[in-house]
Structure 1
């Protein structure tokens, strides 16, 4: 079975190969590999790919500078314990890998007990969140533009999305009541999409698996699922299959504990009206 690290590395190598206009066979010539071996590596099925091999492939594809450094960090990552990256520079590497998985997934369950999920955030809400986290104002516009760019993923007809959010969180006026009113209305609007569910975890459900923090479960048509857990300055893709299954079961439990779509919509509408009256 392919590991998350190998799959992320393979996606990056495939991207650079395609950018260089090279076939798998042409890339394989660098190391005397067959086209099938290169294909397996790009799909994360070649677990014994060495860093020196990755370095040679990058040279053959003309990948240099910061891009080469990023891929080499991935090639030397800690695979047995899950892939941790703990600096701002490395976190951006992991963010781009997560977005690659996000773009391929056919089903995503995003559990967010403290925040509105990123794919559903309005610009004003995200700006208020960045300000609360003391992010440099000069960096905010770039982050907001990147966040909005990701949200087009909701337009994919072949993918389904389930967002589990907390009623308590939605009632808190992050950025002020006007910001939260618009944000809650945005959740209602996105929930009208046939492939999107916004499920509210009511305040009456005090004990639930989401108490341990946010996480995302990504499932694919023909590959094992991936779990993403993001912290303040680090993030993790668990590698252990039993740990991944624990997160998957937690996601199923939270979906079951949340209100159904119809009742969630009513609660969202009530919360939006409360914020609108208070602004």
Structure 2
């Protein structure tokens, strides 16, 4: 008889656990101390914080928040997370203000040891210049009063590229996208120069799918895979108005295979850099 499959933690459970751990540590309390207050074992608290206790109830989360002294809007936000992940299917609304799920995605991004960002149609957000980002927002029909706030938040996320002990970053982009003069040839030339600068960092790889490769797995659409040292990977798929974190292990395995196959079709790092330089020169001449 096959053994019981080990539960590795769903995305929502892990996100909730990260929030609870953050506030426990902020209160200067150990798992054992919280367990002592609540009459639970330290192992129960630890498993919950690692997303390994899917049977946790909203009432139990409320008790933990009380034990570590979380009140007001922070408590309300975490309780929405505790009650809402399963009903929402872990969807993130793409609104002006960050949703609870978006905040948790940023926590996953900050903790990842390797990030693979597949972007066949757009420059990846972590590599975008302010002008390119503004041009995209205008093209997407974002209200003018919201654009600068969104640009500022996107650029703020880019600190992950230059922080100490950064994750390995792998960006998979297409030559055809890089040659599209979003915002005009000048804006796009500066954007490609920016990509070259980041691609020369030791922990950053930019791999380009050449125009000669007409059919490839990236045609299914963009996605981001976040990998960790000692826990399962997380996949994020961004849509027009929302984002989704697939939970099914077979689906995550399919995304992993797509990323591997797509990288195999790209130019090598040095060849990609050479092509990026050539594209930048072409755009400069077109200004």
Bin for the TM-score computed over the shorter chain: over 0.9
For 2:218, which of 182, 190, 210 is the aligned residue? 210
State TM-score, norm by structure 2. 0.90
Tell me the SS of whatever aligns to 1:77.
Answer: helix
- 2:246 aligns with 238
Q: Which moved more, 1:37-46 or 1:190-199?
A: 37-46
Q: Which moved more, 1:21-30 or 1:240-249?
A: 21-30
State TM-score, norm by structure 1. 0.92
Displacement of 1:30 in angstroms is 4.8
* Aligned counterparts, 1:27-42, within 5 A: 27-42=34-49
Displacement of 1:166 in angstroms is 1.2
Structure 1: give runs of 5+ residues left out of the alignment: none
2:206 aligned with 1:198: yes
Alignment deviations for residues 129-179 of structure 1 (CA, whole Å, 9 cap, x no partner): 111122233332322222222212123435211100111111111111111
CA distance in 1, matches of 2:244, 2:98: 10
In the superposition, relative to structure 1, how do residues 64 and 134 fare at CA in structure 2: closer, same or farther (>3 Å)? farther
| Runs of 4+ that moved beyond 6 A | none
Superposed CA RMSD in Å reads 2.1
CA distance in 2, matches of 1:271, 1:24: 54
- 1:263 aligns with 271
Verify the 8 A CA contact 1:107 1:220 in the aligned structure 2.
Answer: yes
Verify the 8 A CA contact 1:51 1:76 in the aligned structure 2.
Answer: yes
- 2:258 aligns with 250
In the superposition, relative to structure 1, how do residues 122 and 87 fare at CA in structure 2: closer, same or farther (>3 Å)? closer
CA distance in 2, matches of 1:267, 1:175: 21
Alignment deviations for residues 43-82 of structure 1 (CA, whole Å, 9 cap, x no partner): 1111211112112222333333433333223212354995
Alignment deviations for residues 65-120 of structure 1 (CA, whole Å, 9 cap, x no partner): 43333322321235499522447389622221111111111111100011111111
Q: Which moved more, 1:103-112 or 1:73-82?
A: 73-82
Verify the 8 A CA contact 1:81 1:238 in the aligned structure 2.
Answer: no
Alignment length (residue pairs): 279
Structure 2: give runs of 5+ residues left out of the alignment: 1-7
